[in-house]
Homo-oligomer: A and B are copies of this chain.
Amino acid sequence: MKRNERLVDFTNFLLNRPNRMLNLNEISKRYEVAKSSISEDLVFIKRVFEDQNIGIVETFPGSLGGVRFTPYISDEVSRDRALELADLLREENRILPGGYIYLSDILGHPSNLKKIGQIIAHEYCDKQIDVVMTIATKGIPIAQSVAEILDVPFVIVRRDPKVTEGATLNVNYMSGSSSRVENMTLSKRSLSIGQSVLIVDDFMKGAGTINGMKSLVHEFDCFLSGVAVFLEGPFKGERLVDDYKSILKVDQIDVAQRTIEVELGNIFEEK
């Protein structure tokens, strides 16, 4: 393979192996060229990946030298993506009886999910994350999108145990908005002791569900890397969780006028 073709293949090769340390000797074998040629290729790739907000390419010297691609977007791009998502939220016809917001179309489109995943992965890029946790149903696509960028697995908490999950660990939690006691469950084999867990969900009001997942992380003897939600809703009173990050925030829902006031969430504070 000549340089032109190698650059195309190498670009694809890196994009498909995010956050992994790749051995330069193996790459040089793959392309049947000297390591010096691979290093030259990486100069081009590095520059483009950084300029175009694709990610960071780091090379590590030495006989066991390696290269690692970490997907990364700049603060500005992250903010732009969030503003694009905010525009979708402001569309008419999104307000349902009871003041609920219809999100399924937004969370059912791969391009939106990619943006959400990139914004969350960007926020936690300097944190250790071994696994992403969410609760069924609408959190799942978000968890999958973040997990794909970070190249880690994701686990799905359920409200009812299922026979296909094997032994489960269950916790009770207090719903933040209705003050009812509810139950959530996660397959015992989903997490190992000591893993670092990032909790994500689509929507948060009183944070009762998030709080339940936090206690699950604790009961599994795991560490909490953070909590990120797509949308933070209006809530009077004190939330059960205060160390969360939100991409967007709904300040007010006017059911009569059918309008929503959306602003950027606290991920974008002090930036």
Q: Mark A18-52, 1 if CB is under 8 A from B, else 0.
A: 00000000000000000000000000110111001
- Residues of A in contact, count (CB < 8 Å): 55
Segment 178-205 of A: residues with Cβ below 8 Å from B = 187, 189-190, 203
| Assembly CA distance A7 to B164 (angstroms) | 47
Q: In chain A between 181 and 234, which residues have their CB closer than 8 angstroms to a CB of chain B?
A: 187, 189-190, 203
CA–CA, A127 to B105, complex, Å? 23
B-contact bits for A218-261, CB 8 A (1 contact / 0 none): 00000000000000000000000000000000000000000000
Is A169 in contact with chain B by the CB < 8 A criterion?
Answer: no
Q: A126-161 interface mask toward B, CB cutoff 8 Å, 1 = contact, 0 = none?
A: 000000000011101100110110011111101000
Q: Check A103 against B164 for contact (C-beta < 8 Å).
A: yes
| Chain copies in the assembled complex | 2
Task: Return chain B residues, CB-CB under 8 Å to A48.
Answer: 1, 5, 8-9, 12
CA distance A101 to B103 in the complex (A): 32
A104: Cβ under 8 A from any B Cβ: yes
A174 at the interface (CB under 8 A from B): no
A54 within 8 A of B: yes
Residues of B within 8 A of A136 (CB): 136-137
Nearest-CB distance from A228 to chain B (Å)?
Answer: 18
A30 to chain B, nearest CB (A): 11
- With an 8 A cutoff between CB atoms, is A108 at the interface? yes
Most interface-central of A52, A144, A155 (chain B CB within 10 A): A144
Supply 23 A–B pairs (Cβ within 8 Å), ascending by A.
A1-B48, A4-B4, A4-B44, A8-B11, A8-B44, A8-B45, A8-B48, A11-B12, A12-B49, A12-B54, A96-B165, A96-B166, A100-B163, A102-B165, A102-B187, A104-B156, A104-B165, A104-B187, A108-B153, A108-B190, A110-B144, A110-B151, A110-B154
**A97-B166, A140-B141 given. 4 additional CB < 8 A pairs?**
A7-B8, A102-B166, A110-B144, A137-B158
